[in-house]
A = this chain, B = another copy of it.
Amino acid sequence: MEKQINVGMLGFGTVGSGVATMIRENEKQLSQKLGAAVKIKKIAVRNIEKNRDADINGSELTTDINDVIQDDSIQVIVEVMGGIEEAHQAIEKALKASKAVITANKDLMALHGHSLLKLAEEHQADLYYEASVAGGIPIIRTLEDGLASDRISTIMGIVNGTTNYILTKMKEEGWSYEHALKEAQALGFAESDPTSDVEGLDAARKMAILATLAFSMEVYLDDVEVTGMTNITAEDMALAEQFGYSVKMLGFAEKDEDGVDVAVEPVFLRSSHPLAAVRNEYNAVYVYGDAVGETMFYGPGAGSMPTATSVVSDVIAACRNILLGVAGARHIDYVNDRQIKKEDQQHAQFFHRLLVKDKIGVFSSLTDIYGKYEASLSSIIQRPGEAEGEAEVILITHPVSRKNHHKIIEELNGSDVVKSIISQYRVEGGDR
């Protein structure tokens, strides 16, 4: 008789039902690949009545998570219920029972990934989480296997589809931020409360996960410097284009001899950069390795079927390990000690747009401030302001520390020649 591996699912929302559909539709292919059948035996749902009509193909429905986790015949647990506490407890129990766990839960992995991966190793279980970052893009395996031999120094990512969709529509269709957000909500990309997307928190979670993996170092959500995108204006986008940039909401994870620097923020990105061509709700992760150089991995960042693709690929990997008797064999020990850069060690270029008094000596007052904090300027342009006696000054700095950048902003705000700081952006891809 053919071997069979039983899978238990926690949650049966859009991703969960996508997973079930894929496993059923590819039944033959899966069993041919693995030499064993894969069957979803039990599914834990909140409401059995609601799911009774769903296409569950012979799986048993239960409202009790433990009913799934404690079933000895189930070797693989797929967690697609979301949320933190309940999911955390469930995954801990499953790992302690040496079951393989597949999760799509980025919130959980960003907060408890380190301890869960340790727990998995202790109990010789696999914990896979490909779907937690950039939905359908196999970026976790790429960092773990494909680029395993290389030393990665930079990751830049468009890892939030909502913000990229909004920025694309603002740029290409001339829509306002509000209009683009509403459209994203109507299309189901953005939540009714978009805070976590537009304030950069969702992207920060993913960047913490990617940084941990790429640099083999414990990186936490709190280490990520986050700036939201709600201040981006159509005017800034037009200005960016004039200078040869595109405005993007980007995640950064960088490592050098001083340590690691992780940030999420609005950026003037050089238009020739591969990430600048990533449009609409698509995600992409750009990886720079010392040996391989520039690479980029592009695809859908969310959605039921793309996310299910990653979950089921993880299920296949976990099943293969079980069948070969090598589950939980991967060492997750971090190669590098935790070393997060302080503000005076983090360097970036910045774009400033200032409204200043149009009088003699303004330029030298300004350049004095930048000079005081060791920020040399790569561009400086003055143009007339809207009102009499005002001028607009646009500056792009060479790399400067974040600490000094904050001080510059502070002094500009206190300066009697500066009426206001209209906008500020990080600048990237300028010198490559």
Chain B residues whose CB sits within 8 angstroms of the CB of A324 once the complex forms: 324, 326, 329
Chain B residues whose CB sits within 8 angstroms of the CB of A50 once the complex forms: none
A379 on the interface (CB 8 Å rule)?
no
11 extra interface residue pairs, beta carbon distance < 8 Å, beyond A136-B291, A141-B142: A26-B151, A33-B335, A138-B145, A141-B141, A142-B142, A146-B310, A148-B316, A149-B308, A150-B313, A295-B298, A297-B298
Count of A interface residues, CB-CB < 8 Å: 59
Chain B residues whose CB sits within 8 angstroms of the CB of A315 once the complex forms: 149
- How far apart sit A298 and B287, CA to CA, in the bound complex (Å)? 10
Q: In angstroms, how far is the closest chain B Cβ from the Cβ of A296?
A: 4
Taking a contact as CB atoms closer than 8 A, the residue among B151, B277, B292, B325 that contacts A274 in the complex is B277
A29 on the interface (CB 8 Å rule)?
yes
A228 on the interface (CB 8 Å rule)?
no
Taking a contact as CB atoms closer than 8 A, the residue among B18, B30, B299, B335 that contacts A294 in the complex is B299
Q: Do B26 and A149 touch across chains, with their CB atoms under 8 A apart?
A: yes
Q: Do B291 and A148 touch across chains, with their CB atoms under 8 A apart?
A: no
- How far apart sit A18 and B299, CA to CA, in the bound complex (Å)? 31
Q: In angstroms, how far is the closest chain B Cβ from the Cβ of A113?
A: 18
Q: Do B299 and A299 touch across chains, with their CB atoms under 8 A apart?
A: no
Chain B residues whose CB sits within 8 angstroms of the CB of A26 once the complex forms: 149, 151
Number of copies: 2
Chain B residues whose CB sits within 8 angstroms of the CB of A311 once the complex forms: 149
Q: In angstroms, how far is the closest chain B Cβ from the Cβ of A409?
A: 34
10 pairs, CB–CB < 8 Å, chain A vs chain B: A138-B145, A146-B313, A148-B312, A149-B315, A149-B316, A291-B306, A292-B299, A292-B306, A296-B297, A326-B326
Contact with B along A26-39 (1 / 0, CB 8 A): 10111011010000
Q: In angstroms, how far is the closest chain B Cβ from the Cβ of A16?
A: 14
A293 on the interface (CB 8 Å rule)?
yes
Q: In angstroms, how far is the closest chain B Cβ from the Cβ of A15?
A: 12
